[in-house]
């Protein structure tokens, strides 16, 4: 027993000694490798071994460092030196450093694009992190462009990264786009998509367009090789109610990740002139069903108002076009703030907080969808989603009666109040309007909803 | 006539969140021919359960909806006049804007 213990401790000791020797050898090898690399480096001031075997750059123009870094690209017969060279001489602009832009930028920086531009005006938020994988927690509250640029530089210090920390507008789009060969649309709203496509048509730039929401994604290349522009496909903007946002409808993080990766791929194909870009075709991705469908779409429309035969849409028209008016939705992603009700049909979150503390007799109806209610809710609230309110008015009536009954046993006297709350205070106004028409004249909306509650009354109440 | 109808990009929410519908439709015009115009009104009557304005505008689909007949944009096959055949797959997909 004792001898076996001694033996195993001897073996353990030997393993430790060998491991330490191994790591020492590895350190020395990697030091020598980097020394060798330094000798071969073109910027290495004169300390160069025989120039016949190691010129600073080969006739094709790739430096030894580039050959080593992109060796796996160069080994692809269909991509090779030619593809890498074209890529290294091209410039790509990614509009939006969010869910789509994050992976697109990571791959474009890693792949060795010559110049990579990033446009965004937003800051990194905690609820971005599950999908906007280029950002790290340290950057929360800071500019997305700065954060994305820093990550890109860490991955590939040889790529020129250009930061455009501003919102894209008709006033700056032409100037910014004109500095790049290819534009990647990684934005999240309809007016931006029309504006980016129109600007690409005016300047003759190919556009790699991706979109993702919920568990689905879409991808295509516009304005390239006789293919359509965004307006050829969608001449009339959709109703605003059809334009859902990730912040309202949710999105599984990896879904924009996949579409963003495909955007990087298409941008690489276009810039290196390799393969068949997804022009005149559209990729439809259904994550839940694990299905990818690639469909044939119409070509360029001769009647298109922007890229058609007789189009008069040029730089001047672009700069004067009102995309927010055209699509009836804002370019910024700020949520809607409705004002449907008279002030006397609304109360502030603070006021509601006071009434709650004073034990006022009331019924609180939460009109958010059920899966929202499950995330977090105010105590004693009754969940009747707005969509099903008209069929469930009875529940409101009986809740009020029950409260009245409680009150009469406590004999305090005042009427039972009816309050309505939702996430941000829009649906609650719609609900109050409806309730007032259906015989609940005193129904009141809580201004700003649960977001307002968290902001103004209870900072520990979770936001989502 | 047996057809497969698919809804995506959020349009499935208008038909009880069911994405794929295998349906059988009898052409009513007597000549045994079914065109997309007929199919749209059939879908509106039989499959769309809520907010029909999110699916159609006038006698065609609303702006922002792509229609694909056998994986091909219906603009290329005659839009509303596209003649459907047995076992055709028709996809209605709403364009996404998120990112």
- Verify whether the Cβ–Cβ distance B96 to A242 is below 8 Å: no
Q: Rg for chain B (alpha carbons), in Å?
A: 13
CA–CA dist A107, A258 (Å, integer): 12
Choose, from A48, A243, A246, A261, the residue flagged as catalytic.
A246
- Verify whether the Cβ–Cβ distance B97 to A211 is below 8 Å: yes
- Verify whether the Cβ–Cβ distance B66 to A233 is below 8 Å: yes
B26 CB-near residues (< 8 Å, 6+ apart): B1
- Verify whether the Cβ–Cβ distance B99 to A234 is below 8 Å: no
Exposure string of B49-73, with b = 16+ CB inside 10 Å and e = fewer, is eeeeebbbbeeebbebbbbbbbebb
Measuring CA to CA, which residue among B71, B76, B65, B73 is closest to residue B43? Answer: B65
CA–CA dist A270, A206 (Å, integer): 8
In chain A, how long is the greatest CA-to-CA distance? 102
CA–CA dist B24, B19 (Å, integer): 16
Between B58 and A411, residue with greater pLDDT:
B58
The answer to whether A87 touches B86, Cβ cutoff 8 Å, is no
The answer to whether A231 touches A305, Cβ cutoff 8 Å, is yes
Q: Is position A243 annotated in a ligand binding site?
A: no
pLDDT band at A410 (very low <50, low <70, confident <90, very high): low
Answer whether 0.90 is exceeded by the pTM: no
The answer to whether A260 touches A187, Cβ cutoff 8 Å, is no
Active site residue A422: yes
CA distance A342 to chain B (A): 28
The answer to whether A144 touches A105, Cβ cutoff 8 Å, is no
Query: Is A95 in a helix, a strand, or coil?
Result: strand
For chain A, say whether B62 makes contact (Cβ under 8 Å): yes
Q: What is the mean pLDDT of residues B42-64?
A: 95
Q: Write down the ipTM of this complex.
A: 0.95
Measuring CA to CA, which residue among B49, B59, B58 is closest to residue B11? Answer: B49
Q: What pLDDT, on the 0 to 100 scale, is given for residue A331?
A: 85
The answer to whether B5 touches B15, Cβ cutoff 8 Å, is no
Task: State the DSSP code for B24.
Answer: E
Q: What is the mean pLDDT of residues A254-277?
A: 98
Distances (CA, A) of A225 to A91, A203, A206, A218, A278: 19, 14, 9, 20, 10
Q: What pLDDT, on the 0 to 100 scale, is given for residue A21?
A: 85
The answer to whether B78 touches B69, Cβ cutoff 8 Å, is no
User: Which residues of chain B are within 8 Å of residue A327 when distances are taken between CB atoms?
Assistant: none
**What's chain B's average pLDDT?**
94
In chain B, how long is the greatest CA-to-CA distance? 47
The answer to whether A319 touches A168, Cβ cutoff 8 Å, is no
Which position has the token pair 């929360």? A140
Choose, from A152, A199, A243, A422, the residue flagged as catalytic.
A422
Q: A366 has which bridge partners?
A: A383, A421
Pairing of strands A362-366, A381-383: parallel
Q: What pLDDT, on the 0 to 100 scale, is given for residue A45?
A: 44
Q: What pLDDT, on the 0 to 100 scale, is given for residue A190?
A: 94
pLDDT band at A251 (very low <50, low <70, confident <90, very high): very high
Residue A432, phi then psi, degrees to nearest 5: -65, -40
**What's chain A's average pLDDT?**
92
Q: Is position A189 annotated in a ligand binding site?
A: yes
CA–CA dist A451, A454 (Å, integer): 5
Query: Is A214 in a helix, a strand, or coil?
Result: strand
Chain A interface, best mutation among B64, B76, B90, B99, by max A CB count within 10 A = B99
Could you tell me where the beta strands, DSSP code E, fall in A297-446?
346-347, 362-366, 381-383, 417-421, 444-446
pLDDT band at B30 (very low <50, low <70, confident <90, very high): low
The pLDDT of residue A417 is above 70: yes
Residue A53: Cβ-neighbour burial (10 angstroms; 0-12, 13-18, 19+): exposed
Q: Worst-scoring range by mean pLDDT, A71-80, A243-252, A296-305?
A: A243-252
Between A203 and B50, residue with greater pLDDT:
A203
Q: What is the mean pLDDT of residues A315-326?
A: 97
CA–CA dist B95, B99 (Å, integer): 12
Sign of CA dihedral A254, A260, A265, A266: positive
Q: What is the mean pLDDT of residues A222-245?
A: 92
Q: Is position A358 annotated in a ligand binding site?
A: no
Token pair for A45: 């001031």
CA–CA dist B75, A370 (Å, integer): 39
Q: What pLDDT, on the 0 to 100 scale, is given for residue A52?
A: 47
- Verify whether the Cβ–Cβ distance B62 to A239 is below 8 Å: yes
A447 CB-near residues (< 8 Å, 6+ apart): A346, A347, A348, A349, A425
The pLDDT of residue A118 is above 80: yes
Distances (CA, A) of A166 to A121, A318, B2: 5, 19, 53
User: Which residues of chain A are within 8 Å of residue B68 when distances are taken between CB atoms?
Assistant: 295
Residue B30: Cβ-neighbour burial (10 angstroms; 0-12, 13-18, 19+): exposed
């Amino acid at each position: 027993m004792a001898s076996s213990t001694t033996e195993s401790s001897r073996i353990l000791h030997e393993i430790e000694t060998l491991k330490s020797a191994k790591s020492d050898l590895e350190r020395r090898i990697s030091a020598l490798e980097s020394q060798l690399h330094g000798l071969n480096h073109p910027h290495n001031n004169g300390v160069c071994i025989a120039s016949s075997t190691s010129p600073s750059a080969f006739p094709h123009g790739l430096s030894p460092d580039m050959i080593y870094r992109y060796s796996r690209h160069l080994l692809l017969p269909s991509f090779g030196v030619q593809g890498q060279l074209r890529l290294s001489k091209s410039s790509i602009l990614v509009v939006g450093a969010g869910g789509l832009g994050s992976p697109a930028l990571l791959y474009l920086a890693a792949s060795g694009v010559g110049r990579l531009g990033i446009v965004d005006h937003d800051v990194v938020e905690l609820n971005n992190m599950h999908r906007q994988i280029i950002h790290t927690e340290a950057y929360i509250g800071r500019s997305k462009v700065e954060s994305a640029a820093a990550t890109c530089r860490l991955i590939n210090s040889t790529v020129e990264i250009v930061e455009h920390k501003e919102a894209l507008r008709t006033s700056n789009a032409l100037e910014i786009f004109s500095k790049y060969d290819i534009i990647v649309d990684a934005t999240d709203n309809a007016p931006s998509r029309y504006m980016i496509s129109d600007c690409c048509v005016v300047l003759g730039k190919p556009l790699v367009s991706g979109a993702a929401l919920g568990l689905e994604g879409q991808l295509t290349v516009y304005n390239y090789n006789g293919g359509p522009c965004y307006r050829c496909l969608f001449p009339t903007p959709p109703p605003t109610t059809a334009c859902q946002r990730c912040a309202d409808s949710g999105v599984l993080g990896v879904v924009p990740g996949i579409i963003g990766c495909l955007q990087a791929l298409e941008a690489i194909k276009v810039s290196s002139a390799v393969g068949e870009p997804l022009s005149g075709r559209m990729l439809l991705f259904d994550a839940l069903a694990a299905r990818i469908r690639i469909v044939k779409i119409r070509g360029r429309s001769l009647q298109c108002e922007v890229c058609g035969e007789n189009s008069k849409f040029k730089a001047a028209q672009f700069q004067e076009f009102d995309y927010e008016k055209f699509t009836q939705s804002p370019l910024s992603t700020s949520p809607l703030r409705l004002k449907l009700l008279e002030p006397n049909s609304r109360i502030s979150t603070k006021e509601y907080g006071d009434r709650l503390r004073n034990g006022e007799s009331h019924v609180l109806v939460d009109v958010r969808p059920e899966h929202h209610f499950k995330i977090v809710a105010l105590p004693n609230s009754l969940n009747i989603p707005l969509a099903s309110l008209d069929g469930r008015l009875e529940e409101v009536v009986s809740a009020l009666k029950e409260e009245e009954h409680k009150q009469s046993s406590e004999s305090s006297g005042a009427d039972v109040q009816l309050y309505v709350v939702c996430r941000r205070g829009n649906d609650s106004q719609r609900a109050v309007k409806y309730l007032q028409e259906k015989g609940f004249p005193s129904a009141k909306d809580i201004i700003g909803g649960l977001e307002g509650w968290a902001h103004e009354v209870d900072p520990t109440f979770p936001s989502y | 006539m047996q057809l497969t109808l698919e809804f995506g990009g959020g349009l499935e929410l208008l038909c009880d969140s069911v994405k794929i519908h295998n349906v059988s439709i009898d052409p009513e015009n007597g000549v045994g021919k079914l065109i997309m115009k007929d199919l749209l009104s059939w879908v509106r009557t039989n499959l769309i359960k809520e907010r029909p304005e999110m699916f159609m505008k006038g006698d065609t689909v609303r702006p922002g909806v792509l229609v694909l007949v056998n994986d091909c944009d219906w603009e290329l096959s005659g839009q509303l006049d596209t003649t459907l055949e047995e076992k055709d797959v028709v996809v209605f997909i709403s364009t996404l804007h998120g990112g």
